[in-house]
Amino acid sequence: MPEHKIHDVIIIGGGQSALACGYYLRRTDLDYVILDNQKECGGAWQHGWDSLTLFSPAEQSSLPGWLMPKSENEFPTRDEVIDYMCQYEKRYKLPVERPLNVKEVEEKSDYFKIITDKSTFYSKAIISATGTWGKPFIPNIPGKDSFKGKQIHSAHYRKPEDFSDKKVLIIGEGNSGAQILAEVSKVADTVWATLKTPEFLPDDVDGRVLFDQASAKYYAEKKGEKFDASTYNLGNIVMVPSVKEARERDVLHSKGQFNSFTETGVLWENGEEEAFDAVIWCTGFRYATDHLQKIVSTDDRGKIKTQGTRSIEEENLWLVGYGGWTGFASATLIGVGRTARSTVKDIQNRLK
């Protein structure tokens, strides 16, 4: 056994999922600490683009225990979400240590050794809550490395003014692609490239409606009933105000797929060559689970086999907030509370 203190639980990550787990852990007699690799509170929201908002009103976007303060806008802004998370951390006196970058986790006989860039921690159980933001995904398209213009992923995009008067290719048919296209198209000549034709939700459908539908699907499947998923496709684009405004300007049109990059731009499927100054990749994320590779297997997306939120391979490891495979709606502010609560209960029973 190490001479150092062995915590009952260490949470790796300091965003919304970590805070939700911390909220339930503080109501137990378990000793725990949260390790965050960010310099400030607010998790991945700190890195969202300046105009980023939630899809739902504040009262539908809260962590367990304390409602997010009402926003003056229809949907809370990025800064309002960060402020809420910082206040939440203080309100519940959550023990966060930052910035600490967890390099790897090693398994010892009856505890874990968590190696960070500053010090080493020990714990009986681990909750990994690192999400996806740290693993932006860019597909390997022929010629990508030969393109001499600017390339960034949406994870690193901040504001449209960075692209003023440039010719910009925006890649990806999801919400980030539509939202970034909406604002960059005001200051730059933009083209939208997508694998399939973008599909838009009705104007009155926001995060509230999507969460209710996702909930209905979750409970139907739990009862073994068939769910009619024809209402809305949960992956379609939400018509937030900026996207509605872009529709009025008639810019929400995809040019389709391209085959490869050239030094100056891209080669479209029809053989047309087109030059661009910059490319913004809105192509999603993988799971930020590299720190666990010594103790469990991951697939090429970083996904780990779980039963509920507990790892099948490593029984004292839990994963919270990575999406559907770690619990219903667990990657959302309002949805993560359920999986955080059940995870903490599971850990309590395991460590008894």
Burial of residue 341 (CB within 10 Å: 0-12, 13-18, 19+) is: middle
| 3-class DSSP assignment, residue 226 | coil
Give the pLDDT band (50/70/90) at residue 119: very high
Q: What is the pLDDT of residue 211?
A: 58
Both structure tokens of 131: 């999400």
| Cβ–Cβ under 8 Å, residues 131 and 321 | yes
List the alpha helices (DSSP H) in the chain: 16-25, 78-91, 175-184, 207-222, 241-248, 336-351
Helix (H) or strand (E) holding 16: helix 16-25
Q: What is the mean pLDDT of residues 13-35?
A: 97
| Cβ–Cβ under 8 Å, residues 188 and 168 | yes
Q: Is the pTM of this model over 0.85?
A: yes
Asked if residue 160 has a cis previous peptide bond (ω within 30° of 0), the answer is no
Pairing between β-strand 265-268 and β-strand 258-261 as defined by DSSP bridges:
antiparallel
| Cβ–Cβ under 8 Å, residues 176 and 281 | no
| Domain ranges within the chain, ordered by starting residue | 6-135+286-351, 144-194+239-281, 201-236
Q: φ and ψ at 218, to 5 degrees?
A: -60, -50
Fold of 6-135+286-351: FAD/NAD(P)-binding domain (3.50.50)
One-letter amino acid for residue 30 of the chain: L
Q: What is the mean pLDDT of residues 157-179?
A: 97
Give the pLDDT band (50/70/90) at residue 228: low
Superfamily the domain 144-194+239-281 falls into:
FAD/NAD(P)-binding domain (3.50.50.60)
pLDDT of 21 > 60? The answer is yes
Q: What is the pLDDT of residue 204?
A: 75
Give the Cα separation of 310 and 343 in Å (integer): 8
Both structure tokens of 137: 């995904």
Furthest C-alpha separation in the chain:
67
**Domains 6-135+286-351 and 144-194+239-281 fall in the same CATH topology:** yes
Q: Over the stretch 145-159, which tens digit does the pLDDT of each residue have? A: 999 999 999 999 999
Q: For residue 90, what are the contacts with CB-CB under 8 A and spacing of at least 6?
A: none
Give the Cα separation of 73 and 47 in Å (integer): 21
For residue 152, the cross-strand partners are 280
Q: What is the pLDDT of residue 140?
A: 94
